Amino acid sequence: MFAAAALGAALLLGTAPATADTLLVDRSRQPAGLAVPARGMTMAQVEADFGAPSQRLEPRGGQKRQWPTIHRWVYPAFTVYFERNRVVDTVANRATASEIGPKPAIR
């Protein structure tokens, strides 16, 4: 029993110091002052309110009627997802390469 306790103490003392990662979920809890497109806005409304996106990714989907075409517009702080021409979601982009969050967009 003493050997098990000694082994446990040795393992605890020999471990590396803990590190912390910033999760995208944690960073997304920013102050309400961060303006992002609202669900239901049209592409024209988003471009009028937020300007032209820095990147327009290739649309995905649309092969069948039940699979609507999804468009993605990338802005510096967020990416906007459109179903056909309406906003369905807005997602915060990674702040740094070490941040844990969604994988980079498929191009």
Looking at beta carbons, which pairs linking 82-85 to residues 24 or more positions away fall under 8 Å?
Answer: 82/43, 85/42, 85/43, 85/44
Q: And the tokens for 84?
A: 């056909």
Q: Report which secondary-structure segment, H or E, holds 4.
A: helix 2-13
The side-by-side arrangement of strands in the sheet containing 78-83 is 55-60, 70-74, 78-83, 86-92
Q: What is the pLDDT of residues 57-95, one digit of tens each?
A: 999 998 988 889 999 999 988 899 999 899 999 988 776
For position 47, what pLDDT does the model report?
A: 97
Q: For the chain, what are the domain ranges?
A: 41-95
The Cα–Cα gap between 103 and 24 comes to 11
Does the pLDDT value for residue 23 go beyond 60? no
